[in-house]
Amino acid sequence: MVKEGKVDQLPTPTSSSNTRSNNRKTRRYLPYALLVSCFVLGTFVSSRSNYLNFELGAKFKQAVSRCHQNTDSTAGVCVQAGALYPQSSKNAEVWTQVGELLETDAFQTLAIDKLSGLIQIPSESYDNMPPPGEDPRWETMGQVHDYLAQAFPLVHKALSLTKVNTYGLLYEWTGTDSSLKPYILAAHQDVVPVNPETIDTWTHPPYSGFFDGTNIWGRGAADDKASLAAIMLTLETLLGKGWTPARTVVLAFGFDEESSGLHGARSLGKALEETYGRDAFEFIVDEGGGFDEVYGAVFATPGVAEKGYIDVKVDVTSPGGHSSVPPAHTTIGYLASLITEFEKNPYPIELARGSVPHETLLCAASHGETIPRGLKHAILKSRHSDKAMRQVEKLFVLPNLWYSSLVGTTQAVDIISGGVKANALPESASAIINHRINTESSIKETTARDGHTIADLAYSLNLTLNAFGEDLIPASAYASEAKGHVELSLAFHHELEPAPRTPTTGKQWDFLSGTIKATYNAHRGLDGDNNIFMSPGMSTGNTDTRYYWNLTRNIFRYNHKNGASTGVHTVNENIALDHYLEIVRFFTTLIVNADEVAF
């Protein structure tokens, strides 16, 4: 989301001392001159239209229209739905009862205990782990299963449970009306490993689940065990109240989201499609954006798109030999030059009209109360002006590392290897480049650019080049023998196209919007529809939903959390108790509302 203070105003043309005074006078009277001009022009066209030919009259009328057009108008931009509260007496009553429970010390103690106990299980997942059953590190996921069964007995009595690929969890709370499409609430059981070297720097031990009176501490507190615990606690509470859904609720809990979901969500996605069919679900809610104050207004930013992903391997080979008789470049030297060439040629950062990052900015311009006028004007004008779009890029996107990473395709050299002995020339050296692909681009476009980025350099170094199976520089390109070879290929085979975009108009988006607004209001004792605004959002990474694209068009990546999460993937991860309780309120509101909406 746009952060305050990045841009103060649009640049203004400089003026010399000889013209500065005249310019001030011009600016002082310019609005009045324009008003008079527009009035005279409009009167002329109106009174003389019978005497003007049609073409000339049309041009005058267009000019009048432009005179009266307000380029800062926010009409039709980031249109908002109203707050959505349960309407039936049954649903309104249970929703109110749960809301009252959230205020009690007894329920808050219960909620703390449920999350704390879950945090105390070190369910870490690591990159490139073999399948379950082949690595004992998976066994902590079994501890998670045992804990959930003990902590939420009503859920395990009332819901059916299927375990997929040993540790993936699929629960079904079967509704009373089979004609209604079900929906999925997703979360993941695993956490990022804690670096042993950092344990002493934690305020409270990473797997303590310690509650200090305000915050609950530990790995997974924010990512993503608070959501998992909140979902289970919500269902346990509703069951305890005797409430049952009309619309079937499905829970999907992966176990290796932090290592790309290769064994967890991928298996869950296949099982869900086999059991329920393609496009069988009304919507999915998984982890993602939250809400925060921006430019004097509070915005919720559910993720409605995701960037693509590829890892590109750069292999360089050349003859070995004794290091006492080295050539001008070893394979490591060649590789270093190629890496430098990549970094000298980053992908262009171009904000695309209608893209999610652009629409996020439009929402900030439309509803932000303190957004600088110059920035607001440029953003709104960028709807139809390429020049204004370039201004937004220059003044806001490019200086903002996070936002520019969101907009463009990124490249990061993350792994490098080569050489086995100090006195032996390395026959090979390699590097891995990670790309997060712009939502407006593709894997094909990215790989093609990578090959052409280094082609000229490879040729100048007398190297042959094969990029993803295509000989860009064959051996025949040189009169004499080439000095080495460069191979570009896809590493690990985890590549992913940019995700299909979730619609941000229609009943599903309005349902989520209304649910978020009702939750926000209820948690603060507020009324009205505009205490929090909805904005399309996206993150720079991917969630387990990468494997759920076939299940629904409506994937909302959203944690109803206030502000940026603390300590995610690093030391001192924690979540405020009040934020955690509001997540419980959100899932309660969503589940009850879902029974009343006719999608």
Of 475, 501, 479, 519, nearest to 557 by C-alpha is 501
Residues, the chain: 599
Which pair of structure tokens corresponds to residue 92? 């309104």
483 pLDDT band, cuts 50/70/90, is: very high
> CA-CA distance, 265 to 597, in Å (whole number)?
28
Q: Find the catalytic residue in 124, 190, 306, 510.
A: 190
Of 165, 167, 224, nearest to 192 by C-alpha is 224
279-300 CB burial, b ≥16 within 10 A, e <16? ebbbbbbbbbbbbeebbebebb
258 belongs to an annotated ligand binding site: yes
Neighbours of 131 (CB within 10 A): 12
286 belongs to an annotated ligand binding site: yes
Q: What is the CA radius of gyration of the chain?
A: 29
pTM of the predicted model as reported, rounded to 2 decimal places: 0.87
Q: Partners of 473 in the beta sheet?
A: 465
145 belongs to an annotated ligand binding site: no
324-342 CB burial, b ≥16 within 10 A, e <16? eeeeebbbbbbbbbbbeeb
Strand runs (DSSP E) across 165-254, as ranges?
168-173, 183-188, 215-217, 249-254
Which residue in this structure is represented by tokens 């997060």? 436
**What is each CA distance from 248 to 185, 192, 265, 377, 552, in whole angstroms?**
11, 32, 20, 46, 15
pLDDT at 52 over 70: no
> CA-CA distance, 436 to 300, in Å (whole number)?
24
pLDDT at 594 over 90: yes
Which tens digits make up the pLDDT trace of 411-429? 999 999 999 999 999 999 9
pLDDT at 49 over 60: no
Look at residue 225 in the predicted model and tell me its pLDDT. Answer: 98
> CA-CA distance, 215 to 7, in Å (whole number)?
34
pLDDT at 27 over 70: no
Which tens digits make up the pLDDT trace of 499-523? 999 999 999 999 999 999 999 999 9
- How many percent of the chain have pLDDT more than 90? 86
**What is each CA distance from 53 to 39, 45, 58, 255, in whole angstroms?**
21, 11, 9, 73
> Would you call 510 a catalytic residue per the annotation?
no
> Would you call 257 a catalytic residue per the annotation?
yes
pLDDT-wise least confident of 20-24, 152-156, 226-230? 20-24
172 belongs to an annotated ligand binding site: no
Which tens digits make up the pLDDT trace of 169-228? 999 999 999 999 999 999 999 999 999 999 999 999 999 999 999 999 999 999 999 999
Of 562, 94, 32, 548, nearest to 294 by C-alpha is 562
Look at residue 564 in the predicted model and tell me its pLDDT. Answer: 67
Which residue in this structure is represented by tokens 């004007």? 377
User: How many angstroms separate the first and last alpha carbons of the chain?
Assistant: 29
- Please give the mean pLDDT across all residues of the chain: 90
User: Contact, 561 vs 291, CB < 8 A?
Assistant: yes
435 belongs to an annotated ligand binding site: no
Which tens digits make up the pLDDT trace of 54-102? 344 454 445 444 444 456 789 999 999 999 999 999 999 999 999 999 9
User: Contact, 462 vs 486, CB < 8 A?
Assistant: no
- Sign of the alpha-carbon torsion through 91, 96, 99, 100: negative
Spatial neighbors of 157 by CB under 8 A, at least 6 apart, are: none
pLDDT at 19 over 80: no
> CA-CA distance, 66 to 62, in Å (whole number)?
6
Q: 3-state DSSP call for residue 408? A: coil
> CA-CA distance, 332 to 56, in Å (whole number)?
70
User: Contact, 329 vs 337, CB < 8 A?
Assistant: yes
Q: Find the catalytic residue in 124, 224, 256, 257.
A: 257
pLDDT at 438 over 70: yes
Q: What is the mean pLDDT of residues 333-338?
A: 98
DSSP assignment letter at 236: H
Of 269, 140, 176, nearest to 544 by C-alpha is 269
Write down all domains in the chain, each with its CATH number in brackets.
Answer: 1-69+357-398 (no CATH), 89-305+499-594 (3.40.630.10), 308-348+408-490 (3.30.70.360)
Q: 3-state DSSP call for residue 163? A: strand
